[in-house]
Amino acid sequence: MLKQVLLQATETAAALIKEYSTRSFTISNKEGINNLVTEVDHKSEEVIFEIIRKNFPDHYILSEEAGEIVQESKYKWIIDPIDGTVNYANHIPICCVSIGLEVDGKMEMGAVFNPFLNELFFAQRGEGATLNGQKIFVSNTTHVIKSCLVTGFPYTYLDTPNGPLEVFSKFIRKGVPVRRLGSAAIDLCWVAAGRFDGFFEHKLSAWDSAAGFLIVEEAGGKVTDTKGKYYNPYQPGIIATNGLIHDQLLSVMLGAEVPDAG
């Protein structure tokens, strides 16, 4: 029942954001420059809430736009109604609905759906990860200098040592391709599918990574915080890789130079 509701909510919201993408919709700005929210974010969130509440009215909900709807429950739904809103507002088809389900403090299921590419990623703890029902696995690249990476930059941050720009600069000066898609949930899923070898970001919220980090783990990857410790989505930094380049990527995040192959 939980899986059925998770997928129904994800698919319904994804269909809605695709439908509204061809219409005129309002766009406003949250804190910071170009930190956008659209009326479709709210509409997507509303249909997700409706489906969850209809089936599980006593479950806890954490969502990007509405915030926390606190209930005394071991079940928590962590929702990003549109991850990649700036892309969506500019009609760039790299955006998605992302929903994670936490049970007793542990992420148990996650779904991420990009309706523009018709890609539905799903994972359940202990049962692997899938893309449109087919099993997916992380890549087998063994050297970070030979990898293809993806990252993102927060809207507000201090330009501190080993911060986003400094780490990015280290990689691109070594010729390592580092992409920026604008959707952390999709970044994580593409690591899980072996399209990227690793993803790193210094500042995310729980709804950005809750579903995606489980999908990476269930596809055979490794996820930690930026210090190499156990990852949980309630702290900001993340490193998600195929596992084989994880320690090398972590060392760069901690201040080392990009290691050569060999």
What confidence tens digit (pLDDT) does each residue in 143-173 have?
999 999 999 987 666 567 778 889 999 999 9
In angstroms, the CA 42 to CA 49 distance is 10
Q: What is the pLDDT of residue 158?
A: 56
pLDDT band, residue 10 (cuts 50/70/90): very high
Q: What is the pLDDT of residue 32?
A: 62
Residue 208 located in a structural domain: yes
Residue 78 located in a structural domain: yes
pLDDT band, residue 216 (cuts 50/70/90): very high
Q: What is the pLDDT of residue 24?
A: 77
Structure tokens at 138: 């992380």
Average pLDDT, the chain: 93
Q: 79, 105, 135 — which closes off a domain? A: 135
Average of pLDDT values for 48-52?
97
pLDDT band, residue 261 (cuts 50/70/90): confident
Average of pLDDT values for 77-95?
95
Same structural domain, 65 and 184? no
Same structural domain, 131 and 171? no
Asked if residue 115 has pLDDT above 70, the reply is: yes
Burial of 251 (0-12, 13-18, 19+ CB in 10 A): middle
Q: What is the pLDDT of residue 26?
A: 80
Q: What is the pLDDT of residue 153?
A: 87
Q: 89, 118, 135 — which closes off a domain? A: 135
Return the H-helix or E-strand segment holding 238. strand 238-241
CB distance 176 to 198 below 8 Å: no
Residue 128 located in a structural domain: yes
Q: Please indicate whether residue 38 or residue 52 has the higher confidence score (pLDDT).
A: 52
Q: What is the pLDDT of residue 38?
A: 81
Residue 229 located in a structural domain: yes
Tell me the pLDDT tens digit for each residue of 217-243: 999 999 999 999 999 999 999 999 999
Half-sphere exposure of 255 (CA within 13 A, CB side): 3
Same structural domain, 121 and 164? no
In angstroms, the CA 160 to CA 143 distance is 26
Q: Domain count of the chain?
A: 2
Secondary structure of residue 80 in the 3-state scheme: strand
Same structural domain, 128 and 9? yes
Asked if residue 35 has pLDDT above 90, the reply is: no
Asked if residue 63 has pLDDT above 70, the reply is: yes
Q: Please indicate whether residue 67 or residue 138 has the higher confidence score (pLDDT).
A: 138
Q: What is the pLDDT of residue 211?
A: 98
Q: 108, 135, 162 — which closes off a domain? A: 135
Q: What is the pLDDT of residue 23?
A: 83
Q: What is the pLDDT of residue 157?
A: 63
Partners of 122 in the β-ladder: 111, 130
In angstroms, the CA 37 to CA 251 distance is 35
CATH number at residue 114: 3.30.540.10
Asked if residue 12 has pLDDT above 70, the reply is: yes
CATH number at residue 221: 3.40.190.80
